[in-house]
Amino acid sequence: MPVGSDIPGGTITAPMVMVGSSNPAFAPLIDVKGKIAVQVVVPQAHMVFDRATVSPRSQDLMKRGAVAVLTVLRHPGNEYAKDLGGCGGPCFNIGGRDGFFLERVLDRAASGGAVPVRAQLTMKSETKSNLRAENAVATIPGRSAEVIVLDAHADAWFDGAGDNGDGLAVLVALARHFAKPENKPDRTLVLIASAGHHTAGLNGPRGFVAANPDLVKRAVLVVNIEHVAQRNFGPGRSVAADGYREFVADSGEAPITAGVTNESPYLNELFQQGVARYGTNFVSEPSPMLSGETGGFTSMEVALITIMQAPPLYHTTGETLDVISTPGLERMARFLAYFVKQAGKAQVTAINPPGSAPRRSAEPEDR
Ligand SMILES: [Zn+2]
């Protein structure tokens, strides 16, 4: 994929042109040559779902001669977003509030005949190389040598309270719980705080699998805990003086997908019980989804579980502690303590039914 948001010389000054959502049906009708193209994206949830649409459209704008692309993300608030880059030139995301302002400026200028509006972009960047990252791995011996792997990645963009501070907090809570003698698990637990999730070329789970063949051989199940307690957001009723509609956070958490690669009926049933017993906000449809950090475990021929939300503030500066649901964290920790206990006692054939080859889904990796 083309990258390179560098601005040679550090500054670009050029007229701006609005290209809307830059749909292939009309984007070629707009002359972007020598201009800064401004496109607008309304993320439906997690920006990972918009990459497949937005990145090729940005690349196309650059190929047709744009000197830069500004992508207005109609997000709540005014967050910096790390995503949707890689257009082969300078591509920048603009937060919801600033984007609203920019769209209004361009509209007002157009209706008043004051076009084109010119913008000056400046940028400084630095590339770091030879970085290293380390997994933290802990083992809680159970009554049996068989292993259940629990993973949460420990690195983040920005504050990362939702991706993946909440998952890591739940992992630590599980470690505390199962380390108590009275909670000794049936199967041995291997807990990983994995590293390098957001850095190309580093992959904590793959490093764990390569470094621990004995644990991997004894594993019956892998559970990846990733984005699990961010609150849900939606447009609120209050409208600012300039017409911007504010967002509000629900008290509860955003929907959580529980992906079970081998579609084990026993494991899926445990997730249903989670909703009834602990009020976890799992989506109702069973899913074989495999995403994010789970991708590094795919060489293991056992059930791989991905517990993951697709919340709107993902990969933005808005992922701060106040958007995490504290009761949601507790619901998830209590549910997983129950889940791990039950899965610790279950027959291997219930967790990995014979003939249920783990499916490889096509979800994009969360990076
Ligand atoms: Zn993540």
Give the model confidence (pLDDT) of 343-357 as tens digits. 999 999 999 999 876
Quickly state the pLDDT bin for 2 (edges 50, 70, 90).
very low
Ligand 1 centre to CA of 154 (Å) is 9
pLDDT at residue 307 above 50?
yes
pLDDT at residue 291 above 70?
yes
Q: What percent of the chain is predicted at pLDDT more than 70?
A: 96
Quickly state the pLDDT bin for 237 (edges 50, 70, 90).
confident
Q: Which residue has the higher pLDDT, 255 or 366?
A: 255
Ligand 1 centre to CA of 239 (Å) is 32
pLDDT at residue 172 above 70?
yes
Ligand 1 centre to CA of 226 (Å) is 5
Ligand 1 centre to CA of 258 (Å) is 14
Ligand 1 centre to CA of 222 (Å) is 16
Average pLDDT over residues 316-330: 94
Ligand 1 centre to CA of 93 (Å) is 20
Ligand 1 centre to CA of 294 (Å) is 10
What is the per-residue pLDDT for 115?
Answer: 86
Ligand 1 centre to CA of 31 (Å) is 38
Long-range contacts of 56-59, Cβ-Cβ distance < 8 Å, separation of 24 or more: 57/21, 57/22, 57/23, 57/24, 57/27, 58/22, 58/84, 58/86, 58/87, 58/91, 59/2, 59/86, 59/87, 59/88
Ligand 1 centre to CA of 228 (Å) is 10
Ligand 1 centre to CA of 6 (Å) is 26
Tokens of 290: 């495999």
Quickly state the pLDDT bin for 26 (edges 50, 70, 90).
confident
Ligand 1 centre to CA of 156 (Å) is 7
Ligand 1 centre to CA of 333 (Å) is 18
Coil, helix or strand at residue 236: strand
Average pLDDT over residues 299-303: 95
Ligand 1 centre to CA of 153 (Å) is 7
Ligand 1 centre to CA of 47 (Å) is 12
Enter the DSSP assignment of 324: B
Distances (CA, A) of 81 to 74, 251, 280, 317, 327: 11, 24, 28, 7, 27
Cβ 91 vs Cβ 85: under 8 Å? yes
Residue 37: HSE in the Cβ half-sphere, 13 Å Cα cutoff: 31
Ligand 1 centre to CA of 291 (Å) is 9
pLDDT at residue 362 above 50?
no
What is the per-residue pLDDT for 366?
Answer: 54
pLDDT at residue 311 above 90?
no
Ligand 1 centre to CA of 297 (Å) is 15
Ligand 1 centre to CA of 149 (Å) is 17
Tell me the pTM: 0.89
Q: Which residue has the higher pLDDT, 202 or 20?
A: 20
pLDDT at residue 114 above 50?
yes
- To which residue do tokens 């039914």 refer? 353
Give the span between the Cα atoms of 228 and 205, in whole angstroms: 19
Ligand 1 centre to CA of 155 (Å) is 8
Least confident segment among 42-56, 185-199, 292-306, 351-365: 351-365
pLDDT at residue 365 above 70?
no
What is the per-residue pLDDT for 86?
Answer: 79
Ligand 1 centre to CA of 367 (Å) is 7
Q: What percent of the chain is predicted at pLDDT more than 90?
A: 70
pLDDT at residue 3 above 70?
no
Give the span between the Cα atoms of 338 and 310, in whole angstroms: 24
What is the per-residue pLDDT for 4?
Answer: 63
Ligand 1 centre to CA of 164 (Å) is 5
Average pLDDT over residues 295-300: 95
pLDDT at residue 278 above 50?
yes
Nearest Cα residue to 323 out of 84, 91, 160, 176: 160
Ligand 1 centre to CA of 315 (Å) is 9
